Amino acid sequence: MAGDMVDAAELTKCYRGKATPAVDGVSFEINEGETVGLLGPNGAGKTTLMKMICGVTPPTSGRIRVLGRDPVEDPVVTKHGIGAMHQSGPYDQMLSGLDNLKIATRFRGLSWRETEPWAMEVAAYLGLTDALQRLVFQLSGGQRQRLQLVRALLTIPRLLVLDEPSAGLDVAGRHQVERFVHWLRAEHGVTVLWTSHHIDEIERNCQRVLVISQGRVLRFAQPRELIREFGGSGLVVTTADQVAAKVVAEWADGAGYLATVDDTEVRIANAGDHDVLPALVRHCSDAGVAISSFGTVTDSLEQVFLRMTEKG
Ligand SMILES: Nc1ncnc2c1ncn2[C@@H]1O[C@H](COP(=O)(O)OP(=O)(O)OP(=O)(O)O)[C@@H](O)[C@H]1O
């Protein structure tokens, strides 16, 4: 059913002393089983929006429902329905990772005996079994980040909220987290709301993307729809040598295109339709320089995001 997981209507959050709202009249729906990416530049309101979904902070106005309930007023939702991994965790640095998990379990009103098998399975998957015995201050940034994910998953949530889950992780760690979330979704039907400044991560993993800027929704659509709507395709021209590359780049500049040169390769933005090519080939022939090959490249979600938020 549409919006059965999250239903936000005209959601607004104004912080005291701030002239403009952090979240400003945002409406959207998330369906059960979806993985939704939340993208926005720094300060766009992503964390504030996630906090309202998790019931951590109440909206100033508007309405938010998670699983049909008000997340601020209904602790059942926040304690059992939502697993949230926030950017920083209130750890006791002088206790082990394991003891921190036990405290979090108690805080959520759960029994460690019942929680332990699943929590240890998650920790093992994330390569944390040994690290859990060490004091938190002895863990690396990447291990602490993965410990946050275990803590968000003390139960199998209906909705998993991930606020920059890959911050501080190396490439292997990022892929491990991605594989794990994919498995959760496939095996347990967990709905995921995922924010990241690694836009390739969102493009790989999310079915729809909510793009916000200055607290407002710019667009909520599938990555490929965003690329179709806001993206362009560029021309990649490989030349015989750097002199030829310079000739191509100067011609592109003169024709009003943005050209970037990497050794003998020239990328000409928004010139993917082949109308450009005959004029370029003619120019190169007149100038006596050779083109070795050419092809087209389509914008990535990252390029589309930059374009959308620059307009923002
Ligand atoms: N507790 C707070 N009190 C006052 N202002 C706040 C508070 N939390 C956030 N803000 C402000 O609200 C706006 C949105 O902040 P928020 O953290 O939600 O953005 P964000 O998109 O998550 O940013 P980032 O990508 O940098 O983490 C910013 O202008 C920020 O300064």
Averaged pLDDT for residues 196-225: 94
How many A from CA of 269 to the centre of ligand 1?
Answer: 34
- Residue 110's pLDDT band (boundaries 50, 70, 90)? confident
What percentage of the chain reaches a pLDDT higher than 90? Answer: 68
How many A from CA of 9 to the centre of ligand 1?
Answer: 20
| Residue at token pair 């965790």 | 89
**HEC assignment per residue over the chain:** CCCCCEEEEEEEECCCCCCCCCEEEEEEEECCCCEEEEECCCCCCHHHHHHHHCCCCCCCEEEEEECCECCCCCHHHHHHHEEEECCCCCCCCCCEHHHHHHHHHHHCCCCHHHHHHHHHHHHHHCCCCCHHHCEHHHCCHHHHHHHHHHHHCCCCCCEEEEECCCCCCCHHHHHHHHHHHHHHHHHHCCEEEEECCCHHHHHHHCCEEEEEECCEEEEEECHHHHHHHHCCEEEEEEECCHHHHHHHHHHHHHCCCCEEEECCEEEECCCCCCCHHHHHHHHHHHHCCCEEEEEEEECCHHHHHHHHHHHC
Residue 42 has a pLDDT of 93
Residue with the smallest CA separation from ligand 1 atom 24 is: 42
Residue 312 has a pLDDT of 46
How many A from CA of 256 to the centre of ligand 1?
Answer: 38
Task: Choose which CATH entry (3.40.50.620, 2.40.50.140, 3.40.50.300, 3.40.50.150) describes domain 6-221.
Answer: 3.40.50.300
Residue 303 has a pLDDT of 86
Averaged pLDDT for residues 295-304: 87
Using CB distances shorter than 6 Å, the residues near ligand 1 are: 15, 18, 22, 40, 42-48
Pocket perturbation via mutation, ligand 1, pick of 11, 12, 16, 18 by most ligand atoms within 8 A of CB = 18
Residue with the smallest CA separation from ligand 1 atom 1 is: 15
Per-residue pLDDT tens over the stretch 175-191: 999 999 999 999 999 99
Per-residue pLDDT tens over the stretch 142-173: 899 999 999 999 999 999 999 999 888 999 98
How many A from CA of 111 to the centre of ligand 1?
Answer: 34
How many A from CA of 47 to the centre of ligand 1?
Answer: 7
What CATH code would you report for 233-298?
Answer: 3.30.70.100
Residue 237 has a pLDDT of 93
Q: Which atom of ligand 1 is nearest to the CA of 51?
A: 18
Higher per-residue confidence, 78 vs 304 = 304
Question: Is pLDDT at 4 greater than 80 in this prediction?
Answer: yes
How many A from CA of 218 to the centre of ligand 1?
Answer: 18
Residue extents of the structural domains in the chain: 6-221, 233-298
pTM, entire model:
0.83
Residue 296 has a pLDDT of 86
Lowest mean pLDDT among 29-38, 117-126, 231-240: 231-240
Per-residue pLDDT tens over the stretch 31-53: 999 999 999 999 999 999 999 99
